[in-house]
Every structure is written in structure tokens, then in C-alpha cells.
């Protein structure tokens, strides 16, 4: 059965890993929504060899009318850092704006679920886990110290946790997405395991 996926943020990191993963199945149609169509098309050709099931579309996501009624599964990238119990118990005081925006995203997912569940549209927030997207190399000395402190808290929460590559993370998340239904996950925020084990 053919499935169409719309992926945003495909220029790097997790978005690109989703594009790679999904394009490997010729039954999938992958629509990459981007701001820079030419640059993305060039990368697709160079790295994926022009798969026929990938379509790069320049799009304005602020224009809801242009995308309304097209999706059956809407997956948002959340974060375990939006979990208030995890934050309080392990004293995760860093990244406040990021954590707050992800908590707001989770509420948006719940509200959209409340509005669209009866129409069979799944809204789900899924955390990718801890993913090495290459941003660590750009941190200042203070940023590195803060990261180490946060990683120590993560080790207390989940001894033996590991950082994923974007490809590994997407592999885990795709298993959850494939299993997701309105009844099972609608309006929730889950980890890459499909539960609340964030690492």
C-alpha cells in the first residue's frame, strides 16, 4: 500500500534522516517541504541518486489553506525536556526556552487531536531521543560545561543511555509512527520508544 509523507526541515539533521529513511521504500511518496528548493534538490541528487519517490516542494507553512485536508498522520518532533516530572526530579534547569516551546507544542498536538480525531487525523508529538546533529561542535566553553552537566543528569535518569545518529533516531521513531493510530497515540507526547522513557 502506498503512503505519502510530508517532511519539513529536510536540509539537515533529523529531517534529512527522515527523508533518507522514507525514500528507501519505493512504495512511499515523500514530499519535502523546503524554503530552498534548488539546494535541496541538488543534495537529493548527490546523496540519494534522484529517487523517483521524492518530490521537493517550495512551501509556505504559514499558509494553512494550502495544506488543509491532506494529512492523516501529523507527527511533531517533541522532546523529553518538556516533561515536567523529568525536569523537576533531575533538576534539568538548562534550555528553558527550548523546553517551554516543546511543552507548548505538546499542548498544540493535544488541542488539534481534540479538534480532528473524529475525522480520523492522528496528531502525535514524538521525541527523537538524544541525537547528535552536529550542533555540539558550535558550543562555547560555557555551553560545553552546561551540556556536560545536562548529560550527567541524563546518566542519572537513564544509566547507559546513548546518543543516536539522526538515522538511528528516525529508525526508532518510524516504528512508533507505523504503529500509531488515533486511538493508541492521538494527542499524546511519547518517546522514540512509544512511551515516556525519553532516553
For 30-73, give the secondary structure using H, E and C: EEEEECCHHHHHHHHHHHHCCCCCEEEEECCCCCHHHCCCCCCE
Show the domains of the chain with their CATH numbers. 1-70 (3.40.50.150), 71-199 (3.40.50.720)
Q: Are 27 and 2 in contact (CB under 8 A)?
A: yes
Q: Which of 5, 73, 79, 125 is catalytic?
A: 79
Q: pLDDT at position 69, please?
A: 57
Among 51, 102, 86, 83, smallest CA distance to 156 is for 86
For residue 180, the model assigns a pLDDT of: 94
pLDDT at 139: 87
Tell me whether residue 72 is one of the annotated catalytic residues: no
Q: Is 18 helix (H, G, I), strand (E, B) or coil?
A: helix
Given the residues 66, 89, 96, 98, select the one marked as catalytic.
Answer: 98
Query: Which segments in the chain show pLDDT lower than 70?
Result: 1, 59-71
Give me 154's grid cell.
Answer: 541524563
3-state SS of 72-118 is: CEEEEECCHHHCHHHHHHCCCCCCHHHHHHHHHHHHHHHHHHHHHHH
| Closest by Cα among 74, 60, 105 to 6 | 74
Concerning whether 64 is annotated as a catalytic residue, the answer is: no
The pLDDT score that the predictor gives to residue 138 is 84
Catalytic annotation, pick one of 73, 102, 112, 169? 102
pLDDT number for residue 129:
96
Instruction: Scan for cell 546533529, then name that residue.
Output: 133
Q: What is the pTM of this model?
A: 0.75
98 is a catalytic site residue = yes
Amino acid at each position: 500500500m502506498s503512503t505519502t509523507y510530508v517532511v519539513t526541515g529536510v536540509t539537515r539533521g533529523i529531517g534529512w534522516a527522515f527523508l533518507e529513511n522514507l525514500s528507501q521504500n519505493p512504495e512511499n511518496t515523500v514530499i519535502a517541504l523546503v524554503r530552498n528548493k534548488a539546494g535541496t534538490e541538488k543534495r537529493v541528487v548527490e546523496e540519494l541518486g534522484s529517487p523517483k519517490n521524492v518530490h521537493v516542494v517550495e512551501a509556505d507553512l504559514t499558509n494553512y489553506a494550502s495544506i488543509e485536508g491532506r494529512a492523516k498522520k501529523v507527527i511533531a518532533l517533541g522532546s523529553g525536556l518538556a516533561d515536567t516530572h523529568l525536569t523537576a526530579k533531575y533538576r534539568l534547569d538548562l534550555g528553558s526556552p527550548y523546553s517551554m516551546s516543546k511543552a507548548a507544542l505538546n499542548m498544540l498536538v493535544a488541542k488539534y487531536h481534540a479538534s480532528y480525531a473524529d475525522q480520523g487525523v492522528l496528531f502525535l508529538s514524538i521525541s527523537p531521543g538524544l541525537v547528535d546533529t552536529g550542533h555540539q561542535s558550535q558550543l562555547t566553553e560555557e555551553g560545553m560545561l552546561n551540556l556536560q552537566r545536562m548529560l550527567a543528569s541524563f546518566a542519572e535518569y537513564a544509566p547507559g543511555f546513548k546518543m543516536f545518529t539522526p538515522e538511528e533516531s528516525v529508525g526508532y521513531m518510524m516504528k512508533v509512527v507505523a504503529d500509531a493510530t488515533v486511538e493508541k497515540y492521538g494527542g499524546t507526547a511519547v518517546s522514540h520508544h512509544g512511551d515516556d522513557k525519553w532516553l
